[in-house]
Amino acid sequence: MQSNLISELSAETPGLVLHGRICRKWKPRNPNTDRVLRLDMICLDRKGDAVWIQVPKSCMDRFDQRVEEQNTYRIANFKVVAETKGYRPVPNGLFVELESTSTIEPTPDHVPPFPTQCFRFLKHEDMFPNRDQRTILLDVVGQLLEFSKTKSSTSINRNSKRKEIKIMLPEGIPVKVVLWGRLGLQLEQIIDAATNPKIILIISSVMVSEFNGELKLSSSSASVMYDNLDVHEVNTLRDSNDALDAPRLHEEKGPEVIGPLSIQELKNFTSDAANLNKIVSVTCKVDKVLNDWFYDGCTKCPCKVQAEADKFYCNKCQTTSRNSVKRFRVQVSVNDPTGEAVFVLFDGEGKKFFGISAQALYADKENEPSDVPAALLTIEHMEVEFHIKVKEFNVKKSSHEFTVWKINEAKESVNSTTKISEPIQENTLSSQQGGGSTHSISTSTVVDIEDEDFDTTNRSNPELRHNANASATPSTNNLKRKQRADSGSDDSDV
């Protein structure tokens, strides 16, 4: 029976028959809901050309059962679709869509010989021109050097798990790759099952971007990960004599927390310049949520924007936008037997603690925008463990307003936070690395717009960035506005 080459496929020609090897098969998932979208495959013909096959959910199960990766098939009665926009796992500008009437019959795989894989590996230097090129996805191969714990990543558009890894490319350059969703879990299984310390990974269909001059790769919903696959690139890496150690867990150590201190002790502590940026634990009672609970934030970064007529200007991004996003800046008055203070909760911790975004609360028609929403009042009269970061304005002005780094609802007694029988909550994954109790989540996991928290080295010295920005700003604002703007940008470094 005659078959067509992939180069002969076109949307116009009827009755085409494809004969080839299914070298990759995966189910792309919605990154937010984790729902399977369809079944995808890559088919290679005898010339080595590759085409993307899509199977809609309606007939996915049937084809999924029939098709095994690496076997060869004769495929007929399909539709050829010219794909002009969106991501593509292979360079071919069209895809084959299987329908309920399509057929896929296994064939003996030795005649003709089909290639077994088609990866599009690029050298590090050639990946750069591909950054932000959002059409053809790249594949990457390298030895696993480092991996982080899996974190929950929540942002306006995304609620997913992410794991960061570092791999050594064949040319000896390490790159970071963000694995989204289930790939992180798969990596953990690979590491657990590894018998050889050298784990050589192939991750297909990654997206390339640049962050602070460094190449950054992220998995896509089309990504498939292979470990120690029998292909030339993997074998070369495995056989190279470079004595590299087994992959290691990259621990992001949380900062040391000092305390617990009383409010009076906190005030004394923060007046000493030597304590700048230190984190202090204070457990006290929330008296009242003060008015003015949100600010207008930039849609691209956590900074406060300036309203200009019907637009908003972000000083950090130096861009004007039509939109802003409401972010938490919740001020609570607190007290303990030694004194009173005002603690300020920014967007990340606010969202975690109240379980809702400031934007959603603001949009809720039940609320008068000027009033403090009822959801925020739940914190009043609550005994709370705050982690406070000592800010420059605390030291300079002896301000009694303190920036909350992390917030945990206090247990009945302070000691009970170490109770082993404590039920594990949904957000345990992140709270474990935060080192806090069950409620605590490092705020860094939520400042994830544009995925900027990927680069931990960049985040390690955020004050520098902000100070550089601040010095470029004419100090014409009155004190309160200045302080608010400063505090607004503070949110970006937590």
| Binding site residues, Zn ion, CB under 5 A | 298, 300-301, 303, 314, 316-317
In sequence order, what are the residues at sequence separation of 6 or more whose Cβ sits closer than 8 angstroms to the Cβ of residue 270? 280, 388, 390, 394, 395, 398, 402
Cα 78 to Cα 311: distance, rounded to the nearest angstrom:
50
CB nearer to Zn ion: give 257 or 317: 317
The minimum distance between CB 375 and Zn ion, in angstroms, equals: 26
The minimum distance between CB 300 and Zn ion, in angstroms, equals: 5
For residue 383, the number of C-alpha atoms closer than 13 Å in the C-beta half-sphere is: 7
The minimum distance between CB 305 and Zn ion, in angstroms, equals: 7
> Nearest residue to Zn ion, using CB?
298
CB nearer to Zn ion: give 63 or 312: 312
CB nearer to Zn ion: give 221 or 306: 306
Pairing of strands 17-26, 72-76: antiparallel
The minimum distance between CB 139 and Zn ion, in angstroms, equals: 33
The minimum distance between CB 422 and Zn ion, in angstroms, equals: 38
State whether the Cα torsion 391-395-401-406 is positive or negative: positive
Cα 434 to Cα 5: distance, rounded to the nearest angstrom:
54
CA distance to 334, 407, 421, 425, per residue, from 412 (Å): 18, 16, 14, 18
CB nearer to Zn ion: give 144 or 314: 314
CB nearer to Zn ion: give 212 or 236: 212
Q: What are phi and psi of 480, to 5 degrees?
A: -65, -45
CB nearer to Zn ion: give 383 or 452: 452
The minimum distance between CB 477 and Zn ion, in angstroms, equals: 17
CB atoms inside a 10 Å sphere around CB 98: 24
* Six token digits for residue 395: 């030291």
CB nearer to Zn ion: give 140 or 447: 447
Is the bond preceding residue 474 a cis peptide, omega within 30 degrees? no
The minimum distance between CB 354 and Zn ion, in angstroms, equals: 23
H-helix or E-strand spanning residue 65: helix 60-66
Strand partners of residue 339: 336
The minimum distance between CB 482 and Zn ion, in angstroms, equals: 18
**Helices and strands (H and E) in the chain: how many:** 13, 25
Q: Choose among 253, 254, 257: nearest CA to 280.
A: 257
The minimum distance between CB 325 and Zn ion, in angstroms, equals: 10
Cα 209 to Cα 8: distance, rounded to the nearest angstrom:
33
CB nearer to Zn ion: give 296 or 409: 296
Contact 489, 466 (CB under 8 A): yes
CB nearer to Zn ion: give 280 or 298: 298
Q: What are phi and psi of 458, to 5 degrees?
A: -70, -35
Is the bond preceding residue 89 a cis peptide, omega within 30 degrees? no
